[in-house]
Amino acid sequence: MPNTPPSSLVPAHQRCGLIKASQRSKRGQEMARSLLALFIVGMALYTIQGFLPALAWGGVFAIATWPLYSGACRMWPNAARGTLLPLLFTAVMALLFVIPLTLFTLEAIGEAQSALEWLDHARKFGLPVPEVLQQLPVGATTVTHLWETHLSNPRDVSGLLGALDNKGVMVTRALGSQIAHRGTLFCFSILTLFFLYKDGVSVIRQCRVASSRAFGRRGESIARQIVASIHGSVQGLVLVGIGEGVLMGLVYLFAHAPHPALFGVMTAVAAMIPFCAMIAISLVSLLILVSGASVAAIVTFCIGATVIFVADHFVRPTLIGGTTKLPFLWVLLGILGGAEMWGLIGLFIGPAAMAALNLIWRRWTYGNNAEV
């Protein structure tokens, strides 16, 4: 083979050409690697797309409870090195969901039995006109006549319930399918949470390295903003919702509402979405009104409206937006828009996205003087 001449003997214009060709080759290789990486990431996300909500829920649970878990790790370092502490925290988180759902299911089964007995009685004897309809200040005669025409006759009730039975079978099948699907996702969420507890320190370190390489120093500040938003969302949505449910459950109890504990849980779940708790409160107030306690129904509705107004207009914006300096309108748009686009997980994704956008906007408009 002929000897390659030393670089000092190669003319300058040839050396420049070789350098440019080498740079073009490197740029081509980098582009090819980037396209390959994007293709692999896309294929991986497409493969696990059905389990992405479970992974997202596991991440939300881990972020929300990480301060507690970190404190437990400092108190019991030996247990944190193995699987005992992660398994214990995962079991506690699972029980926080399983126990209320079990109680709610048992209560619902009991209510379903009562409802079936009521339907059987309605098929045989019809539905008598409630006394509250006869006492309406306006339209009592018309409403009573319509009720007697369509619901007092057992044959009319049987025909109506027969049509509903066919739809009920379809609804039951769809409900069973959804319960199985949601149960599977919940199991994967809990499994994800366990591994995030177990390998959380390593995951955080890898995320910081990846963020620094991809976005520089400011990438970590955006990640901190997202984490703070999730913490605020958990406090403002979940904890405030539970507080509203407990408070309204006591109000239901004193107002002698039917099944105050069950409706208290329903109010707590509905209260996690702003303004939705009024649906549950209105339903309970209507049931109290039908039972004949009109004053208790009005008082229950007024107390519920006051509690929801204070929680949604003062408490939640402070908890969610206070840690991230997010305006109330951005908080509301993040919650409602996230819930509409992503479902329940959107209650946490939406505010996190708006918090990151707000930080980017402040950095862009105020530069380094923006407060983080």
Is 41 inside any structural domain?
no
Distance CA 182, CA 200 (A): 25
> Does 80 share its domain with 142?
yes
> Does 97 share its domain with 162?
yes
Is 298 inside any structural domain?
yes
Residue 119: what pLDDT? 66
Is 181 inside any structural domain?
yes
> Does 164 share its domain with 266?
no
> Does 146 share its domain with 241?
no
Is 15 inside any structural domain?
no
Distance CA 255, CA 84 (A): 46
Is 296 inside any structural domain?
yes
Residue 372: what pLDDT? 46
Is 20 inside any structural domain?
no
Whose CA is closest to 104, among 241, 242, 251, 261? 261
| Residue with the two structure tokens 């440019």 | 20
> Does 126 share its domain with 260?
no
Residues in contact with 303: Cβ distance below 8 Å, sequence separation at least 6, in sequence order: 248, 251
Residue 1: what pLDDT? 47
DSSP state of 236: I
Residue 154: what pLDDT? 64
Domain of 109, in residue numbers: 50-198
> Does 185 share its domain with 255?
no
Q: Final residue of a domain: which of 141, 163, 198?
A: 198
pTM (2 d.p.): 0.69
Is 37 inside any structural domain?
no
- Which is it for the CA torsion 352, 355, 357, 360, positive or negative? negative
Query: What distances in angstroms separate CA 195 from CA 32, 188, 201, 214, one per listed residue?
Result: 33, 11, 11, 25
In tens digits, what is the pLDDT along the chain, a chain of 372 residues? 455 555 555 565 565 666 666 666 777 777 888 888 888 988 988 888 888 888 888 888 898 888 889 888 888 888 778 788 899 999 998 988 888 777 777 766 766 666 666 666 666 666 666 666 666 666 667 767 676 666 666 665 566 655 555 555 565 666 677 777 778 888 899 999 999 998 888 888 888 888 777 777 777 788 888 888 888 888 778 888 888 888 988 998 888 888 787 788 888 888 887 778 888 899 888 888 877 778 888 899 999 999 888 888 778 777 777 666 777 778 888 888 888 888 878 888 888 888 888 888 887 887 655 554
Residue 115: what pLDDT? 64
Domain count, the chain: 2
Residue 90: what pLDDT? 92
Distance CA 76, CA 68 (A): 12
Is 43 inside any structural domain?
no
Whose CA is closest to 72, among 56, 87, 58? 87
> Does 191 share its domain with 228?
no
> Does 175 share its domain with 253?
no
Residue 191: what pLDDT? 92
> Does 222 share its domain with 193?
no
Kindly provide the b/e burial profile for residues 209-245, where b requires at least 16 CB atoms within 10 angstroms of the residue's own CB: eebeeeeeeebebbbebbbbbbbbbbbbbbebbbebb
Distance CA 251, CA 47 (A): 49
Residue 192: what pLDDT? 92
Q: Final residue of a domain: which of 154, 171, 198?
A: 198
161: its two tokens: 């319930």
> Does 170 share its domain with 226?
no
> Does 279 share its domain with 353?
yes
Residue 303: what pLDDT? 92
185: its two tokens: 């996702």
Residue 14: what pLDDT? 62
Q: Final residue of a domain: which of 165, 198, 231?
A: 198
> Does 279 share its domain with 347?
yes
